[in-house]
Each structure stands twice: as structure tokens, then as C-alpha cells.
Amino acid sequence: MSDQLIIFDTTLRDGEQSPGASMTKDEKLRIARQLERLRVDVIEAGFAASSNGDFDAVKTIADHIKDSTVCSLARANDRDIGRAAEALAGARRGRIHTFIATSPLHMEKKLRMTPDQVFEQARLAVRFARNLCGDIEFSPEDGYRSDPDFLCRVLEAVIAEGATTINIPDTVGYAIPELYGNFIKTLRERIPNSDQAIWSVHCHNDLGMAVANSLAGVKIGGARQVECTINGLGERAGNSSLEEVVMAVRTRRDYFGLEVGIDTTQIVPASRMVSQTTGFVVQPNKAVVGANAFAHASGIHQDGVLKARDTYEIMRAEDVGWSANKIVLGKLSGRNAFKQRLQELGVEMASEAEVNAAFARFKDLADRKSEIFDEDIIALVGDESVTSEQEHFRLVALSQRSETGERPHAKVTFFAGAKEVTAEADGNGPVDASLKAIEAHVQSGAEMLLYSVNAITSGSTESQGEVTFRLQHGGRVVNGVGSDPDIVVASAKAYLAALNKLQGNVERTSAQW
Ligand code: KIV
Ligand code: ZN
């Protein structure tokens, strides 16, 4: 058996299924590029047949990503599989991941199909997919709650049809590590052609055991692929967290005896990018990527670490990409230094015009903030409210007045399409007043689900504020992110960014909208 563990990242597919985590095509491509820098083996880019937007995102990622395999999910039917193959046509290495539910509950209540019908559909789907692509993954959805005899029958048949990876999902997060590991071991022992496929684990975190279950599937069951997401993003309690799986296998190589191809120094940048894009904040005590993961507060611990680092540290912060806030650029930095820093940070700009626009924003920021950190630069290039001239709503200027005992007032000037508008309103606070001013003109009718403010760099009130709004309208949920040293301005930018996303697909609810 191979001693290489394949890391299959599904942040852009299963992670995105988390309510409120939906991403635009550009955001997905940016994250896919970071996953490629992280050197994940497989990127599940989406579910091509589910919508035109998802199709475009999978296709764009397949066309741009060169070092990782790009995968699309597909239900076990010809249309879905055909769409996946079409979206993946430009990929250097593509994979179709097809699935059908096999548990009694799902077959009877959800699919309303007999086990024989499911068996036949799975077999024919893999046969069809294999004619379109050489790399086929098959998942029996709710596999862990399926009857083992039936599962053996299905899996033996799909391997015979050419499935190259067999993934066993614990779809509802019901498994216990030892039981899940043994479940996979038994399947592999009982299925005569099991050695012709790579076995994979896919665990959800409903009981907080997704990572433990995945690792048991590897250690006890002999799986050699783990499906996971950055920050454990995913539906309900999320998926297995990539950073925890990778660092467990790497830190305890003595126990697992496995290699992972991941560049671990890209873990924290990936975590930040996903958190910033989705608005899902990482809890401070989250393993590996939480702000406190390497902070020693107690005197005894600090004393120990100063004397010998390994007294209390089992991993090195720099190995997972934590760097102390570094002042990288300032007011006097030139365009070349800025461009070089963008390259070092792995930020690709489509044209010189984009570099110029980003440099102008950098200069503007440097005028207001004396120390510019890497995190500021990443926020600056990712700030959707100002990055694209094509955006419908763009902030031009904001002024606000607030005083103890007085009702705050805001005046906001912004572009709505080609037209520059100025609107004013009072509110409970300056942020509320600014949003009310924008809404006085836009009248979006959107419901606000989340408003969060974070400091981009810790330890100073000089930090830029990074604001996320989550808005819901017409059955869609979107996030808008904005950053600025002034959190009222950051809030207005984030709100306009969210409106742009809603505006992209939403029926107009008023003449202006
Ligand atoms: O959780 C699950 O069952 C899935 C499958 C589609 C692999 O995400
Ligand atoms: Zn899943």
C-alpha cells in the first residue's frame, strides 16, 4: 500500500454548501489558486450541473489550475456527468466524482428507489463517466449508514466499471472513529477487487469527530485519500478540517507513517483567505489556524517555551504560515516594490492596469496608515467594493457626524451603475446611518443576517477594520467584505459589495434596484 496520503480539498464544493458561504466565480478562482499553492492533490471545484454559475466556476478553475487535479461532483446520471466532463474539458488533470445514496433511509425516503435500481444506476453512471474521463471517483452517499452487504455489491460493481477512487462518506456525522475505521477495513477485505481503487474518507463534524474519524479511516481502514475543507468549512457543523488532518499526519509521522505533499507554510494564508471570503470567522482557539493556537499565556508555559521551545510546542508556528506582523511597505515604497510584494504573496494581477489601480489604493492607504502589513495588502487587493470598475455599486465618499447625546447622521456618495448619487440618513449609530443612507436610494429589501467587524492585524488600534455583511434576498444568501482604517467606511464598502452580489442575479425589486 502507498505511503502517500492524497489530500482532496472540497472547500469550493461541500464547504460552499454551508448556508451563507456561497462565493463568486472570481473568489473561487482566487481560493483555487491558493489551494494550488498549498499543493493539494485534488481540488473539488464545484457541482457543474447544479447551475450555470457553478458550471462556469468549475470550468474557469479547470482552465487555470495546472498543478492540482480539478474535480467536479455529479449525480449518478448522464446529464450531470456530461456537464461535469464538459466543464473539466480544459483541465490538465480532471476527475469526475459521481455519487448516489445507498443507505436504506435515503434510498427509500429520498430517492424512492429500490436497492436494485440504485445498484444499476451506480454501475451505469460509472460506466458512462469512465468513457469521458480516466479518473473517476464514486461515493455511496450516507455510505456509513448503508448495509455492508449491499455496499460491497455496489462497490465491487463500480470498481469493475472503472472507478479509480472509492469514497465512503459519513454524510451525517454519525460515525465513531474505531467503528468507521473498521467499517472501511471490512469493506476493503470483503470486496475482491478493492485493491484496484484508492480508498477515501469523507467525514462530517456533527459530533465533533470528523478529523478523528478521517484519521481512523486512514490508520485502521487503510484509506489513502482524505476529503476535507479549509477551516473545516461545510454544511451544519462542517467537514473534516484540512489543516488539522495534515498537521496530525505530519506531526505524528511516527504513528501514521505517511507522507503528505502539502506546503504547510501556505495553511494560514489559505485559512485567512477562506475566512475573509466567506465571512466565517475562525474561532481563536481553533487548532493550527486560530489566533491563539500558538499563544502561550500562562507564566509557566512562557518560561518553558523561552528555555526550550519543544517543552510546550509540538509544531512550529512558522511551519504552518504564521509570521509575526511584518511591516513590509510604507508611504515611500514605489510601484516596483509593491509589485514584487504582490508576487511574493502569490497575488496575480490580470493586467498592468490592475496593478496600477491596486498601487493607487495602496498609496491612498499608506497616506492614512503608517505601517502596511502583508494582511493589509491582501485585504486591499481583495476588496470587492473597489477592485472592479464593472461593479454596479461603488463607494465614492462618506462623511458622518456622531456626538454623545446626538442622533448620528451620514452622507454617502456612491455610483449606482453610471450614475453618481448622494444620499443622507440618520441612524442608531454611524454604521446604521450610513447603511440607511445607501438603502434610502437602493431600496434592496435585503434582510441582514450577519454584520461582523474584525481587526486585520492584531495588537493595535491602527489596524484596518475588516467588515463582513451577510444579506439574504429572494432565496439567495451572499457575503460582502470591505476593509478600511475607518470601520464606518469599511462597513459601507462591505454593504455595497454584498449588494453587488445580490444585484448580479436578483430580479429588480424597485425602479432603482
Ligand atoms: O457528505 C456527502 O455524502 C457528500 C457526498 C456527495 C460525497 O458530500
Ligand atoms: Zn459531504
Which ligand number lies closest to the CA of residue 232?
Answer: 2
The H helix count followed by the E strand count for the chain is: 18, 17
| Mean pLDDT in residue range 378-388 | 64
Question: For residues 102 and 193, what is the distance between their CA atoms, to the nearest angstrom?
Answer: 20
pTM score, whole prediction? 0.85
Most confident listed range (18-27, 31-40, 453-462, 463-472): 31-40
Instruction: Give yes or no for residue 443 having a pLDDT over 70.
Output: yes
From 72, 170, 171, the mutation candidate for ligand 1 (largest count of ligand atoms within 8 A of CB) is: 171
Which ligand number lies closest to the CA of residue 18?
Answer: 2
Note the pLDDT of residue 304.
79
Question: What are 38's three cell numbers?
Answer: 498549498
DSSP assignment letter at 196: G
Question: 468 forms bridges with which residues in the sheet?
Answer: 452, 481
Question: 461 forms bridges with which residues in the sheet?
Answer: none
Nearest CA to ligand 1 atom 5: 141
Neighbours of 503 (CB within 10 A): 21
pLDDT tier at 351 (50, 70, 90 boundaries)?
confident
Q: What percent of the chain has pLDDT over 90?
A: 69
Residue 15 or 344, more confident = 15
Instruction: Please list, in sequence order, all residues whose beta carbon lies within 8 angstroms of the beta carbon of residue 34, skipping any fewer than 6 positions away.
Output: 266, 269, 270, 273, 346
Instruction: Please list, in sequence order, all residues whose beta carbon lies within 8 angstroms of the beta carbon of residue 231, skipping any fewer than 6 positions away.
Output: 238, 241, 243, 271, 274, 275, 280, 282, 286, 289
Instruction: Give yes or no for residue 385 having a pLDDT over 70.
Output: no
Instruction: Give yes or no for residue 506 having a pLDDT over 50.
Output: no
Question: For residues 141 and 75, what is the distance between their CA atoms, to the nearest angstrom?
Answer: 10
**417-426: per-residue pLDDT in tens?**
999 999 999 9
pLDDT tier at 47 (50, 70, 90 boundaries)?
very high
- Mean pLDDT score of the chain: 91
DSSP assignment letter at 106: I
Note the pLDDT of residue 296.
67
**DSSP of 4-59, one letter per residue?**
EEEEEE-IIIIITTSTT----HHHHHHHHHHHHHTT-SEEEEE-GGG-HHHHHHHH
Note the pLDDT of residue 300.
74
CA of 170 to the centre of ligand 1 (A): 8
Note the pLDDT of residue 343.
76
CA of 57 to the centre of ligand 2 (A): 19
**121-167: per-residue pLDDT in tens?**
999 999 999 999 999 999 999 999 999 999 999 999 999 999 999 99
SS3 323: coil
CA-closest candidate to residue 442, choices 462, 457, 469, 422: 422
Note the pLDDT of residue 508.
35
Instruction: Give yes or no for residue 394 having a pLDDT over 50.
Output: yes
**287-340: per-residue pLDDT in tens?**
999 988 887 666 777 777 777 888 888 999 999 998 755 556 778 888 888 888
Residue with cell 472503472: 162
- Report CA 294 to chain centroid distance, whole Å: 23
Question: For residues 19 and 478, what is the distance between their CA atoms, to the nearest angstrom?
Answer: 9
Residue 262 or 455, more confident = 262
Instruction: Please list, in sequence order, all residues whose beta carbon lies within 8 angstroms of the beta carbon of residue 396, skipping any fewer than 6 positions away.
Output: 413, 414, 415, 420
Q: What percent of the chain has pLDDT over 70?
A: 94
Question: For residues 133 and 201, what is the distance between their CA atoms, to the nearest angstrom?
Answer: 22
Residue 264 or 368, more confident = 264
**DSSP of 324-337, one letter per residue?**
---EEE-TT--HHH
Note the pLDDT of residue 509.
36
Note the pLDDT of residue 346.
66
Question: For residues 166 and 121, what is the distance between their CA atoms, to the nearest angstrom?
Answer: 16
Atom of ligand 1 nearest to the CA of 10: 8
Residue 368 or 14, more confident = 14
Note the pLDDT of residue 324.
55
Question: For residues 398 and 98, what is the distance between their CA atoms, to the nearest angstrom?
Answer: 50
Note the pLDDT of residue 131.
98
Please, which residues have CB less than 5 A from ligand 2, an ion? 14
Instruction: Give yes or no for residue 188 having a pLDDT over 50.
Output: yes
Question: For residues 114 and 391, what is the distance between their CA atoms, to the nearest angstrom?
Answer: 50
Contact (CB, 8 A) for 93 and 8 = no
Residue with cell 491602527: 462
Most confident listed range (384-393, 479-488, 504-513): 479-488
10 lines ligand 1 (CB under 6 A): no
Note the pLDDT of residue 298.
67
145 lines ligand 1 (CB under 6 A): no
14 lines ligand 1 (CB under 6 A): yes
User: Is beta strand 165-170 parallel, antiparallel or unpaired with respect to 409-416?
Assistant: unpaired
**Residue type for position 121:** Q
Nearest CA to ligand 1 atom 2: 171
| Mean pLDDT in residue range 494-499 | 93
Atom of ligand 1 nearest to the CA of 142: 3
Question: For residues 482 and 466, what is the distance between their CA atoms, to the nearest angstrom?
Answer: 6
CA of 266 to the centre of ligand 2 (A): 24
DSSP assignment letter at 205: -
Question: For residues 246 and 227, what is the distance between their CA atoms, to the nearest angstrom?
Answer: 11
Number of C-alpha atoms within 13 angstroms, CB side, residue 392? 15
Question: For residues 8 and 6, what is the distance between their CA atoms, to the nearest angstrom?
Answer: 6
Instruction: Give yes or no for residue 100 having a pLDDT over 90.
Output: yes
**191-213: per-residue pLDDT in tens?**
999 999 999 999 999 999 999 99
Question: For residues 345 and 37, what is the distance between their CA atoms, to the nearest angstrom?
Answer: 10
CA-closest candidate to residue 458, choices 282, 241, 233: 282
| Mean pLDDT in residue range 222-242 | 97
Note the pLDDT of residue 510.
40
Atom of ligand 1 nearest to the CA of 73: 6
Instruction: Give yes or no for residue 386 having a pLDDT over 70.
Output: no
Note the pLDDT of residue 229.
98
Question: What are 32's three cell numbers?
Answer: 483555487
Instruction: Give yes or no for residue 356 having a pLDDT over 80.
Output: yes
Least confident of 157-166, 188-197, 227-236, 480-489: 480-489
Note the pLDDT of residue 511.
36
